[in-house]
Amino acid sequence: MSQTDQTTRPVRGTDPLGVAVPSTVPTHWYNIGADLPAPVPPHLHPGTREPLTPEDLAPLFPMALIEQEVTTERYVEIPQAVREVYAMWRPAPLHRAHRLERALGSRARIYYKYEGVSPVGSHKPNTAVAQAYYNAAEGITRLTTETGAGQWGASLAMACSLLGLTCEVWQVRASYDSKPYRRYQMEAYGSVCHSSPSELTEAGRAILAESPETTGSLGMAISEAVEAAAKDPAAHYSLGSVLNHVMLHQSVIGQEVLDQLAEVGETQADVVFGCAGGGSNLAGLVFPLIGQNLREGTTTRVVACEPAACPSLTQGEYRYDSGDVAGLTPLLKMHTLGRDFVPPAIHAGGLRYHGMAPMVSHAVELGVIDALAVEQEDAFRAGLLFARNEGIVPAPESTHAVAAAVEHARTAADGEVILIGLSGNGVLDLPAYGGYV
């Protein structure tokens, strides 16, 4: 390209800035599908019940993400422009919880991987930035999505603002009403946020006609966001959890953990606790560690910690189900409570999905992930214990992992290495703690 071409070509949001990126920021995403002893069951077309083709997904997703959804490669290169954005907060810190150890009288060594240092305070930008990048590169100008507590909506809003797209979000009504600061955060990034179910879509109107007082669900919000994207040729839909490519993007968390544990002299984590709703945070934290188990013979135990109010892993059925209430999405093989399940309006709004990611569900079926359910009262009690000893107020979702880890640490063996996934901070969720302080 000539110098003239370089100076006259419009600058795009997907163009690298040319800034230095620390070598500790991962260069590739990790795909656990390459190491699992059996393949993840394919997604099915909701009409034919046959495996999906790329053409089936093209109206909603860019081809690069469709390819990542089905890839069998162990590693996928991260675009330089995405790594430059990651470098704003990655690598995220791994901290030793010395004061929590002392408070518990535990003989274990407790670490936590803290994703709350991202600009929006959670792990969600790891995939939001990647999804916005690939959509922008394909010429899409608008993304639609759903959100529960608002961490995902805020993350996609930020990513779209950085990469030159607009974003429209449908937020579960219970969280829309109780967490206005998340909505303000999305609007600060230039996005629009609606309470779901809404009167803006056919799916929303049908739901409201049947249940006008509903508190909403992620399944309802997904239906609205998918419908809105399908009607606009300039738009695509973006999902913050559940799908394989989302698990792939989040793997930067666990890859950093492996390096960081080695740096502090630990050969492995003995047991890892991560919160589980749709599965993205858990997968990002633990899939690289499970991969190490499968390839190298390490023995890290992984525990998925879900809310007792929405227990898809511990009480759901493992079967094909739709990802949304209206049945617009592909059929996914997952642990599910049923697409019509409407959970209580619990404070951990990010853990209210009726199903679990197919990759996580498959890993549970293969026996490489254990699962347990945590009561909300126990979760918030543990969150306060953590805050009062480590100084960080955990996101309500993360308190489920903290609670399970605290219970385990009380009787842990001398020198046992415990790892907690602290998927975000609770700074914008402080009203949720109101009933527990």
Q: What is the pLDDT of residue 8?
A: 54
Q: CB-based contacts of 261: which residues, under 8 Å, 6+ apart? A: 94, 111, 267, 268, 269, 417, 419
Which neighbouring-strand residues pair with 122? 424
Tell me what pLDDT residue 79 has.
97
DSSP 119: T
Q: Which of 91, 148, 84, 98 is nearest to 114 (CA)?
A: 91
CB 186 within 8 A of CB 157: yes
CB 22: neighbour CB atoms within 10 A?
A: 10
Return the amino acid letter for 141. T
DSSP 197-239: S-SSSHHHHHHHHH-TT----HHHHHHHHHHHHHT-TTEEE--
The helix (run of H) or strand (run of E) holding residue 6 is helix 3-8
Is there a contact between 281 and 115 (Cβ–Cβ < 8 Å)?
yes
* Residue 418 phi, psi (nearest 5): -110, 135
For the record, the structure tokens of 151 come out as: 């961490």
Q: Can you give the pLDDT at residue 3?
A: 43
Q: Residue 321, SS3?
A: strand
DSSP code of 424? B
CA distances from 89 to 50, 173, 253, 304, 370 (A): 41, 30, 12, 25, 30
Structure-block tokens of residue 163: 């990469």
Where does CATH 3.40.50.1100 sit in the chain?
86-122+244-436, 125-237
391 residue type, one letter? G
User: How far apart are the C-alpha atoms of 69 and 364, rounded to whole Å?
Assistant: 19
Architecture category of domain 125-237 in CATH = 3-Layer(aba) Sandwich (3.40)
pTM, full prediction: 0.94
What does the block give as tokens for 88? 């704003």
User: 331-334: long-range contacts (C-beta < 8 A, 24 or more apart)?
Assistant: 331/43, 331/44, 331/45, 331/46, 331/49, 332/43, 332/242, 332/358, 333/40, 333/41, 333/42, 333/43, 333/358, 333/361, 333/362, 334/242, 334/358, 334/361
The pLDDT profile of the chain, 437 residues, written as one tens digit per residue, is: 444 444 455 557 799 999 999 999 999 999 999 999 999 999 999 999 999 999 999 999 999 999 999 999 999 999 999 999 999 999 999 999 999 999 999 999 999 999 999 999 999 999 999 999 999 999 999 999 999 889 999 999 999 999 999 999 999 998 899 888 999 999 999 999 999 999 999 999 999 999 999 989 888 998 999 999 999 999 999 999 999 999 999 999 999 999 999 999 999 999 999 999 999 999 999 999 999 999 999 999 999 999 999 999 999 999 999 988 778 889 999 999 998 887 776 655 567 788 999 999 999 999 999 999 999 999 999 999 999 999 999 999 999 999 999 999 999 999 999 999 999 999 998 888 888 88
**Does residue 91 have a cis peptide bond before it, meaning omega lies within 30 degrees of 0?**
yes
Q: What is the CATH number of domain 86-122+244-436?
A: 3.40.50.1100
Backbone region of residue 396 per phi and psi (left: phi > 0; alpha: psi in -120 to 50; beta: other values): alpha
User: What pLDDT does residue 11 have?
Assistant: 55
Q: Which helix (H) or strand (E) holds 274?
A: strand 271-275
